[in-house]
């Protein structure tokens, strides 16, 4: 499947034209991980966000006592790593590939923000969609007793 | 249609999942979250659909394994 076809199936890119999707595809880089590979670690600097093309990842975090918790699993079409990209803070959790051959598309903060500034219509749509994705995750969190809320 | 599904495990002892599905989950269908299989017990719309996306919340419970003979 072509990258643009994959991007069309991701809510983050909903509302973008084919030309805008092509520009995004040009700054997206495929990365493939084996099961149990660490994609990034809690506390590390965050300079990329990721879209899952295939497979599944687990989000884990350590609380202030150093106890590890599994927070959520994310599958195809989902976005992760966007918090550090938006607020430029360190990674709030670790992300581990669950399945062999988990494929993600990485978009660097520098390239993404440059594209949003060059095409402000694209930037508006992407920021709106990122806000909607974070809203969906919050709704999930509110419903999930595993979060301890 | 793409179904963006929030899966939540009954009891809260196992984390849930968010993923896109090409088919709407049905009560009784089996999904794998991480390395564990679950049975869907309830599906509801979480927010109104937008364009080609529907947003669903599904409650799941662990699949009961058969006893040994």
User: In chain B, what residues touch A147 (CB-CB under 8 Å)?
Assistant: 12
CA distance B6 to B20: 9
Give the lowest-confidence range in A105-119, B33-47, B52-66. Answer: B52-66
Domains of chain A: 3-142 (2.60.120.10)
Mutate to test the interface with A, among B11, B16, B41, B53 (most CBs of A within 10 A): B16
CA distance A3 to B39: 32
Q: Which candidate from A71, A78, A147 shows the least CB-CB separation from B19? A: A78
Question: What ipTM is given for this predicted complex?
Answer: 0.89
For residue B4, the cross-strand partners are B20, B55
Mutate to test the interface with B, among A80, A146, A149 (most CBs of B within 10 A): A146
Residue A95 burial by CB count (10 A; 0-12/13-18/19+): exposed, middle or buried?
Answer: buried
Kind of pairing between the strands at A68-74 and B17-21? parallel
**pLDDT tens, residue by residue, A33-77:** 999 999 999 999 998 999 999 999 999 999 889 898 999 999 999
Q: Is the pLDDT of residue A147 over 70?
A: no
The model's pTM is 0.90
Nearest-neighbour CA in chain A from B12: distance (Å):
4
pLDDT at A146: 74
Spell out the domain ranges in chain B.
2-62
User: In chain A, what residues touch B47 (CB-CB under 8 Å)?
Assistant: 136, 139
């Amino acid at each position: 499947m072509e990258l643009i076809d994959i991007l069309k199936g991701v809510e983050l890119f909903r509302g973008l034209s084919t030309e805008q999707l092509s520009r995004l595809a040009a700054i997206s880089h495929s990365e493939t991980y084996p099961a149990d590979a660490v994609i990034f670690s809690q506390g590390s600097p965050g300079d990329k966000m990721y879209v899952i093309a295939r497979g599944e990842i687990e989000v884990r975090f350590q609380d202030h006592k150093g106890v590890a918790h599994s927070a959520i699993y994310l599958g195809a079409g989902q976005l992760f790593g966007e918090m550090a990209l938006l607020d430029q803070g360190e990674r709030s959790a670790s992300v581990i590939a669950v399945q062999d051959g988990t494929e993600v598309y990485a978009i660097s903060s520098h390239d993404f923000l440059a594209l949003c500034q060059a095409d402000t219509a694209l930037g508006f749509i992407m920021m709106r969609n990122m806000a909607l994705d974070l809203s969906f995750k919050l709704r999930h969190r509110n419903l999930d007793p595993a979060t301890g809320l | 249609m793409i179904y963006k599904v929030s899966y939540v495990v009954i009891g809260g002892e196992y984390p849930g999942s968010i993923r896109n599905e090409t088919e709407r989950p049905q009560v009784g269908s089996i999904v794998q979250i991480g390395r564990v299989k679950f049975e869907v017990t309830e599906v509801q719309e979480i927010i109104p659909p937008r364009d080609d996306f529907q947003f669903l919340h599904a409650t799941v419970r662990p699949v009961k394994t058969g006893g040994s003979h």
